Amino acid sequence: MKLYDENMPAPNPRRVRMFLAEKGLTVPTVRVQLGKGEHKSPSHIARNALGQVPVLELDDGSTLSESVSICRYIEALHPEPPLFGRTPKEIGTIDMWIRRVEMQVMVPLGAVWVNCHPATEAYMKAMGVKRFPDYGEQNRARAFNRLEWLDSQMEGDFIAGDFSAADIVALSIVDFGAFIDIPIPPGARRLRAWHERVSKRRSAKA
Ligand SMILES: N[C@@H](CCC(=O)N[C@@H](CS)C(=O)NCC(=O)O)C(=O)O
């Protein structure tokens, strides 16, 4: 196996690195530098038609994309420790929270990133994609609101019961939010405590 990867602050490849670290696995990695447009090169498009990272190349030469799908593949090969749940209820609950953090929190953060963050201005222009700064700003407010909502939903130490893939996905998103100046809101005490707890894990450095 080989992981086509990119360094922080890219949130999606980080999920796979963290997942592998939690499983105690290492795989060779190849850096695909987004800043240099390497993800849109013909060789990378051949790996992932969307021209994104992460991509996992399997030993038979075929490829898998989508960070959560790659993690599921790894879990199927290496079930211990289970990070997508063991019982039907755990499996459903973890899946629900992965979808919620991606759709409720990551979607507005992504809209800020591509529409009004200075770091993507030149890139979007080079890609020929028009930016809508007002839309981006609306999503900034939405992202703060969704982080507050996530805080209101926190019941225990982790997002979905025991530590799971939902925490890995959420950490990648919350840290990306901080990188684009959308930090955990001041009143979100439970989310902040969760963030401190999860950030202390060795895998968070992966
Ligand atoms: N849903 C995908 C998203 C992948 C994604 O957006 N990756 C970013 C890096 S964090 C990327 O490659 N962006 C470049 C682009 O979309 O052109 C996943 O979970 O892997």
Domain annotation covers residue 83: no
| Reported pTM | 0.97
Q: Nearest residue CA, atom 1 of ligand 1?
A: 66
Q: Are residues 132 and 43 in the same domain?
A: no
80 within 8 A of 22, measured Cβ to Cβ = no
Instruction: Count the neighbouring beta carbons within 10 Å of the beta carbon of residue 182.
Output: 23
Best mutation site among 4, 8, 12 for ligand 1 pocket (most ligand atoms within 8 Å of CB): 12
151 within 8 A of 190, measured Cβ to Cβ = yes
Best mutation site among 5, 33, 52, 70 for ligand 1 pocket (most ligand atoms within 8 Å of CB): 52
Which residue range forms the structural domain that includes residue 55? 2-77
Per-residue pLDDT of 158-201, as tens digits, reads 999 999 999 999 999 999 999 999 999 999 999 999 999 999 99
Tell me the β-bridge partners of 64.
Answer: 56
Per-residue pLDDT of 2-24, as tens digits, reads 999 999 999 999 999 999 999 99
Q: Are residues 100 and 184 in the same domain?
A: yes
How remote is the CA of residue 54 from the centroid of ligand 1, in Å? 7
* Domain edge (last residue) among 50, 77, 104: 77
Domain annotation covers residue 173: yes
How remote is the CA of residue 87 from the centroid of ligand 1, in Å? 30
Give the CATH number for residue 120: 1.20.1050.10
* Domain edge (last residue) among 22, 42, 77: 77
User: How many structural domains are present in the chain?
Assistant: 2
Tell me the β-bridge partners of 55.
Answer: 4, 65
Residue 99 in tokens: 């979808």
Find, among 156, 14, 151, 164, the residue nearest to 91 by Cα. 164
Residue 100 phi/psi, 5-degree rounding, is -65, -45
Mean pLDDT of 139-159: 97
Q: Which atom of ligand 1 is nearest to the CA of 127?
A: 17
Strands (E), 50-184: 55-57, 63-65
Per-residue pLDDT of 93-120, as tens digits, reads 999 999 999 999 999 999 999 999 999 9
Report d(CA 74, CA 51) in Å as an integer.
22
